[in-house]
């Protein structure tokens, strides 16, 4: 285990993490700090608690939107697969019908 010092907002935090995870944790803290800084400018406040709350709410909203998009994409994939399967069945039925006509014509020609 190692300890990483993170600056988020106007505060420093010491956070323990698995060895090798330090760069990822620093990157995540940097992204969070950037979001907090943007909100601080928009809201014109330095209240760390309020900024952390608002940032968490914004990030949760982004996560919900991403999950909804994934769900919609999965639903679309399912609908496309069903349509493809339906079309394949239609084509197979059409080929069977054509095959029957061809066999019928071949029988008539052979007689």
Sign of CA dihedral 57, 62, 63, 68: positive
The per-residue pLDDT for range 57-106, each reduced to its tens digit, is: 999 999 999 999 998 888 888 889 889 988 888 898 888 889 888 888 88
Q: How many separate domains does the chain show?
A: 1
The DSSP call for residue 90 is H
Tokens representing 86 are 């339906």
Report helix angle 22-43 to 48-110, nearest 10.
110
**99 part of a folded domain:** no
**104 part of a folded domain:** no
The DSSP call for residue 10 is T
**102 part of a folded domain:** no
**101 part of a folded domain:** no
Domain that holds residue 41: 2-85
The per-residue pLDDT for range 26-60, each reduced to its tens digit, is: 999 999 999 999 999 998 888 888 998 999 999 99
**67 part of a folded domain:** yes
Could you tell me the pTM of the whole model? 0.61
């Amino acid at each position: 285990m190692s300890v990483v010092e993170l600056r988020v907002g106007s505060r420093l935090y010491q956070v323990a993490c698995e060895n090798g995870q330090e760069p990822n944790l620093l990157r995540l803290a940097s992204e969070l700090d950037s979001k907090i800084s943007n909100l601080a400018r928009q809201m014109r406040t330095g209240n760390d608690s309020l900024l952390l709350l608002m940032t968490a709410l914004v990030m949760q909203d982004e996560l919900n939107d991403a999950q909804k998009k994934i769900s919609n994409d999965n639903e679309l994939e399912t609908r496309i697969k069903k349509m493809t399967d339906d079309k394949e069945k239609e084509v197979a039925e059409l080929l069977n019908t054509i095959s029957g006509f061809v066999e019928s014509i071949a029988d008539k020609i052979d007689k």
